[in-house]
Amino acid sequence: AQLVDAVAADNLNQTESLPDDIASVDVTPYVPQKVAALAAHQTQFPFKSDLLPPPILRELFGYEYFVPVYS
């Protein structure tokens, strides 16, 4: 599977467009639920949501990127 790595996603700013085969979904309304889900699975991924302020959490978790896989 081909995935957009975090560095590549981070380098895309709001004014740049994504390549045609990459879809971006704004999930900022759901960031609190995503953070709560991560915190609920601390044995798999140690994460303390209170270490980062909400604007940073929105920046980190506010978009999902999808790349089609062709076979």
Q: Which tops the pLDDT comparison, 19 or 55?
A: 55
Domain boundaries, the chain: 6-66
Backbone angles phi, psi at 53, to 5 degrees: -70, 155
Higher pLDDT, 56 or 47: 56
Mean pLDDT of all residues in 41-67? 84
Supply the angle between the helices 31-40 and 54-61 in degrees, to the nearest 10.
90
Using CA atoms, how far apart are residues 54 and 41, in angstroms rounded to an integer? Answer: 20
**Do strands 63-66 and 23-26 pair parallel, antiparallel, or not at all (unpaired)?**
antiparallel
- State percent of the chain over pLDDT 90: 28
Higher pLDDT, 4 or 55: 55
Per-residue confidence at 63, pLDDT binned at 50, 70, 90?
very high
In this prediction, residue 11 carries a pLDDT of: 53
